[in-house]
Structure 1
Amino acid sequence: MKGKVKLLTFDATNTLLKLCVSPWKFYANVAEKYGYQIHEDEIKKQFLYTYKNLTKKHPNFGKESILWENWWREIVQGTFEGKIKDNEHIKCIGNKLIQDYKSPKCWFPADGAVDLLEHVKSKCIDIGIVSNFDPRLHEILQSLNLSSYFKFILTSYEIGYSKPDKKIFDSAIEHSKLNLCTDACLHIGDDYEKDYLGATKAGWQAFLVTNNTSGLDVINPLHCFKNLQELKMAIEFQDNFS
């Protein structure tokens, strides 16, 4: 590492937070409550197709074009297209999914997340969140009793920039209210392009937490960890965190 860390930010999904079940399984469970038996493999195919297309059409959850709630309603509409023809049921399912995905019904802290946050906090290092997410992230973190660890929580929707854009990392430094050089900032995430490359191109230090290391030979092995427990063990022995 290049220097002593004074600001540490985390990605949310698949880094600090994990989904209880896959979206297609959860969507299938909600649809079943309305009387529709749809195999999750069918839902997965249409969910991923709709998500990809809508992300291109309305980037960043529709920040510049539609409300984020309507963005997700279009995801639900596309996911169940041809399978649920009752528009009122589609509307009800969409509203329920939007609400459920704010809660512990859908999310839990990744293994080792709390221990790692406690360790970093004990070093008097400011902690933030930098995530490509809609505004529900605040409620999710609060419902999981994680909010108190963070000096700030930045979502791409609220800031107006998505990782890997340098501007979202610059905004994190502004929100820290610290007079920091970029090399005193460390970002931790699971996505090579959005988290690791995004942070390093912004001048930050970066760690990657992922089980899938295929094609990541270009990363310094000291910057790549399988899980948060492994990461915590590593930083306990680094002077940059003492």
Structure 2
Amino acid sequence: MNIGATSCSVARNLARFKLITFDVTDTLLKFSRPPEVQYALAARQHGCTEINEQALARSFRSHFKRMARSYPNFGKRSKDWVWWWRTLVINIFRDSHDHIDEIMIHEVAEQLIENYKTRDCWTEVHLASEVMKIARIHCKQIGIISNFDPRLNTILEVMSLPKVDFVLTSYDADSQKPDRKIFDIALKQCTTQVYPHEALHIGNSPKQDYIGAKHAGWSSVLVNVTKETEREFSFNPEINPKHIFKTFDDFTQALKSEQIIWE
């Protein structure tokens, strides 16, 4: 493929945008190990040898949903994010392993809160950095919009992702995707005027990322699509199938070789 023509194609596809933002979890970064494996590893490091990872997984799913419902946005308006994660971990272990010493559970919780700031718990999604660099070359501003707690800046730094102009977490914004408010706040982070139709959001969640951005007047694409994600958008008329890409490689190829219609 002609490199000059490729560059022109990308420029045309991104010409309308002054801002491109990215989701983080399962978009730019993913867990290096499933949570139940990470939790079990931390527990074993504290001397807990009889750990059932399947029980941890079941407990994680139920308690995470319960905490998110009872204390939205990592406890932003009721407690704080450290309390939220500590309580979640403690409840998971109490529910799944009642033989573990209470003091030890608290120690494991504190360790996990710190561990998830490090490279040990994260890995970069294939081609994530390349797509961010493409966005930087062809657009004026790049940002992060993520339903996350304040550890995100530290995580992005230790993972050595390309620099962005701003990082907006749901905790700091006091608003979670798909709420329009967080997308409106993102526009205010820009150093020059950016209107909603001049912004593109890239993420992996049909509801939080794609539909959230579209309802805010933005353009959006879905990347790194899983079978579970496919079930979410398969019957949703709000999602344009031409804006869905299974991998970043598929997305970059489309940018370089196709005309993407954003409406």
Q: TM-score, normalised by structure 1?
A: 0.93
Deviations 1:102-146 (A, max 9, x none): 011001110011111111111143110000000111000000112
Contact 1:3/1:184, CA 8 A, preserved across alignment? no
Task: Say if 2:111 is the partner of 1:78.
Answer: no
Range that drifts further, 92-101 or 226-235: 226-235
Task: Give percent identity, aligned residues only.
Answer: 36
Deviations 1:174-205 (A, max 9, x none): 00122122111000111111111100000000
Structure 1 gaps, min length 5: none
Contact 2:14/2:138, CA 8 A, preserved across alignment? no
Equivalent of 1:64, from 56, 61, 77?
Answer: 77
Equivalent residue number for residue 156 of structure 1:
170
Equivalent of 2:68, from 49, 55, 77?
Answer: 55
Range that drifts further, 185-194 or 218-227: 218-227
Contact 2:36/2:54, CA 8 A, preserved across alignment? yes
1:176 aligned counterpart, secondary structure: coil
Query: Per-residue deviation at 1:214?
Result: 2.6
Structure 2 gaps, min length 5: 1-12
Task: Say if 2:21 is the partner of 1:9.
Answer: yes
Contact 1:211/1:227, CA 8 A, preserved across alignment? no
Instruction: Sort the Cα spacing of 1:154 and 1:239 in 2 relative to 1 into closer, same or farther, 3 A.
Output: same
Instruction: Sort the Cα spacing of 1:2 and 1:21 in 2 relative to 1 into closer, same or farther, 3 A.
Output: closer
Deviations 1:25-58 (A, max 9, x none): 1101111112222111000111111111111111
Equivalent residue number for residue 123 of structure 2:
108
Matches for 1:104-183 after TM superposition, within 5 Å:
104-146=119-161, 148-183=162-197
Letter in 2 for 1:62: G
Query: Per-residue deviation at 1:3?
Result: 6.7
CA distance in 1, matches of 2:125, 2:106: 31
Query: Per-residue deviation at 1:95?
Result: 0.9
Contact 2:150/2:171, CA 8 A, preserved across alignment? yes
Instruction: Sort the Cα spacing of 1:18 and 1:2 in 2 relative to 1 into closer, same or farther, 3 A.
Output: closer
Equivalent of 1:206, from 210, 217, 220?
Answer: 220
What is the RMSD of the two structures over their aligned residues, measured on CA atoms?
1.7
CA distance in 2, matches of 1:237, 1:157: 38
Deviations 1:148-178 (A, max 9, x none): 5210000000110000000000000000122
Contact 1:121/1:149, CA 8 A, preserved across alignment? no
Matched residues, number:
239
Q: TM-score, normalised by structure 2?
A: 0.86
